[in-house]
Structure 1
Amino acid sequence: MTDAQIPVLRNPWMIAAFEGWNDAADAATSTVDHLLEEWDAEIFAELDPEEFYDFQAVRPVLAPSENGVRDIVWPTPTLYFARPPHLDRDVLLLRAVEPNYRWQTFCAAVVEIAQRAGVQELITLGALLADSPHTRPVPVTGTTNDPVMLERLSLEQSRYSGPIGITTVLGDVAARAGMATAGIWAAVPHYVAEPPCYKATLALLGAVEDAVGIGLPQGVLQEMSEAWQRGADDLMEQDEDLRDYVESLETDRDTDDLPEASGDAIAREFERYLRRRPTEET
């Protein structure tokens, strides 16, 4: 993509999620998929998958086309462009399978495209399995190099050390290039880890709202989250051992949570409601 092909964007920001190790219960990529659909996003740029994937591990697939001939669909990293209604900022959204090869080259290519488009802020999304009870709010942790996003994000700062995924590398490359970055992770209850986990997706969407300070469309996510909650409750009620285990997790969680933390959560949710009103009233 040449500079002449890049449309003029309005103070754009960017959000990225990857299938694979970084995406427990598909919660992170589901957040991007939700926004792609809500905003009717269009393809902005694609990276050649030949350089970054082991096609024995991430296989291309045959898919029917409009003329009835099956086409080969490759695992192509794709950047989408959206101009959300009622917002004065445009958005780039990256959705890809986590690459098998050349992570630094991959991230440098993504950051170069983002910078040429004028992106100043990058948010990466991830989800992990954790000892978290499904009956409580989904824990969301994160890190950021930006004081503005740090003030907006009332998150538990991640203390993780150990193996990392592509989201961490992308955030690091972007930060070294001078971009404001935030990495946000949702903790999915490990005993109900089958995708989708709409409750975790909704939690990530709320954290993104906080990071950028604008309202994002929920669509049917709230209803789907409630349905997921009911399904997890039914599963727990049918299994006495699981019920005892969840109760022990609840005790641990409630002991760790301070009363003021619950008050802060209520305040954040009310702020999100106020930001979201112009989007939901039309």
Structure 2
Amino acid sequence: MRNPTELYTVVLTEADVPAGLPLVIGLTGFVDSGGAVGQVSQYLIDELEHRDVVVFDNDELLDYRARRPILVFDETRITEFRRPALTVRLAHDEIGAPFLLLTGYEPDFQWERFVAALLEIIERYAVASTTWVHAIPMPVPHTRGIGVTVSGNRDELIESLSVWRPRTQVPGNVLHLLEHRLTQAGHPTAGFVLLVPHYLADTEFPSAAVTALESITAATGMLFPTDRLRAEGREFLARIEDQVEGNTELARLVGTLEERHDSYMEDNPLRSPLTDEDGELPSADAIAAELEKFLAHRQSSDDEPR
């Protein structure tokens, strides 16, 4: 394997970064249900004071043909090239406490080398703990709090917060590999996978972003401003409720998801909230068809933000 250090450029040395900080990671990859990771990453960058610490090399890690950068074309010429960024930043939470924040895209190439580079960075800056967030679609109702599956070696977080603990095979992402390496090394690490209603997976669901921030707070003690996201989440859910109340079939399907969710949370013999007694998944098609009208209206409205 080629030298991992050559994958990144150091902007702030360890002399400029306090030792013993938590590292928080949110990378957008092949799935980001409810836009949870994307929302949290942008929200923290917009809301918090931060400085670049380490910048990764796009040309080594990014498949430009699969995820083409955005260009701004102004009548006769290109005026802006919006370069993707995969960056570790030194940020400060709402009360000024410092932490390290890695955001950007999930690398398309060189996962082992990228993880080795992250292990170097974690050692170089004497990182105290590593926390990462991810979001996947699940047949759960929007009327209940968003659950999480917690992985890693922080047993106190797993015991108190992990609502679904399957034994299964799933498509991995690069942060699963990082977690595996960190666990082997005995470094404190926790991954939070949000279980987002499958019929809202393709939306920007503000409540998912709030749950991601709450999970990070539980793992790190960092405090983040969430008032705007919570307000957007209440408005979003209110408009979904309007759709549900006006459609008997949609209400019945949501009610079915609620019953299965509540049974699972009450230690019902159902093995998970994802299947019924016959092992069948409730279809998302009927819910999605009704919500399509709501989402189309939301995205095209002139007086509402996208």
TM range (shorter): 0.7 to 0.9
Q: Which residue of the other structure, out of 222, 230, 247, is the alignment partner of 1:222? A: 230
Are 1:183 and 2:191 matched, yes or no? yes
> Which residue in the other structure is 1:54 paired with?
63
8 Å contact from structure 1 (residues 27, 195) kept in 2: no
Measured after TM superposition, the shift of residue 239 of structure 1 is 3.3
Q: Structure 2: how far apart are the matches of 1:252 and 1:148? A: 27
Q: Does 1:34 align with 2:58?
A: no
- Stretch of structure 1 that moved more, 30-39 or 246-255: 30-39
Question: Which one of 185, 206, 218 corresponds to residue 214 of structure 2?
Answer: 206
Paired AA for residue 161 in structure 1: Q
SS at match of 1:94: strand
In the alignment of these two chains, the number of paired residues is 255
Greater C-alpha Rg? 2
Match of 1:142 in 2: 150
CA distance in 1, matches of 2:164, 2:259: 22
The answer on 1:96 being equivalent to 2:104 is: yes
Q: Taking structure 2 as the reference length, what is the TM-score of the superposition?
A: 0.75
Contact 1:132 1:188 (8 Å CA) reproduced: yes
- Deviation track 1:100-142 (CA, whole Å, cap 9, x = no partner) reads 1111111221232232122121111000000010011111111
- Which of 106, 121, 133 in structure 2 is aligned with 1:113? 121
Deviation at 1:226, TM superposition (A): 0.8
Matched, 1:77 2:83: no
Residues 53 and 88 in structure 2, CA contact (< 8 A), matched pair in contact too: yes
Query: How far is 1:150 from its partner?
Result: 4.4
Query: For 1:145-156, what aligned pairs fall within 5 Å after superposition?
Result: 145-147=153-155, 149-150=157-158, 153-156=160-163
Correspondence 1:158 to 2:197: no
Equivalents in 1 of 2:163, 2:107: separation in Å?
28
Cα pair distance change 1:233/1:108, threshold 3 Å? same
Q: Residues 226-237 of structure 1 correspond to what in structure 2 (within 5 A)?
A: 226-237=234-245
SS of the residue corresponding to residue 135 of structure 2 reads strand
TM-score, scaled to structure 1: 0.81
Equivalent position amino acid for 1:43 in 2? D
Give the whole-Å Cα distance in 1 for the aligned partners of 2:164 and 2:251.
30
Q: 1:131 to 1:149 in 2, by over 3 A?
A: closer
Superposed CA deviations along residues 247-266 of structure 1, whole A, max 9, x for unmatched, are 1001111112239xxxxxxx
**Aligned equivalents of 1:132, 1:30: Cα separation in 2:** 21
1:246 to 254, 274, 277: 254
8 Å contact 2:21–2:127 — kept in the other structure? yes
1:10 offset after TM fit, Å? 5.2
Structure 2 letter corresponding to 1:39: L
Contact 2:13-2:53 within 8 A present in 1 as well:
no
The secondary structure found in structure 2 opposite 1:224 is: helix
The one-character-per-residue Cα deviations of 1:157-180 (angstroms, maximum 9, x if unpaired) are 532432211221122233334421
Cα distance change of structure 1 residues 4 and 235 upon mapping to structure 2, 3 Å threshold: closer
Aligned to 1:18: 27
* Matching residue of 1:256: 264
Q: 1:4 to 1:99 in 2, by over 3 A?
A: closer
CA contact (8 A) 2:12 2:53 kept: no
Question: Which blocks of at least 5 consecutive residues in structure 1 are unaligned?
Answer: 260-282
Looking at structure 2, the residues matched to 3 and 190 of structure 1 have their Cα atoms a distance apart, in angstroms, of: 40
Structure 1's 239 and 43: CA in aligned 2 closer, same or farther, altered over 3 A?
farther
The CA distance in 2 between the partners of 1:204 and 1:91, in whole Å, is 16
Which residue of structure 2 aligns with residue 262 of structure 1?
A: none
Paired amino acid for 2:163 = E
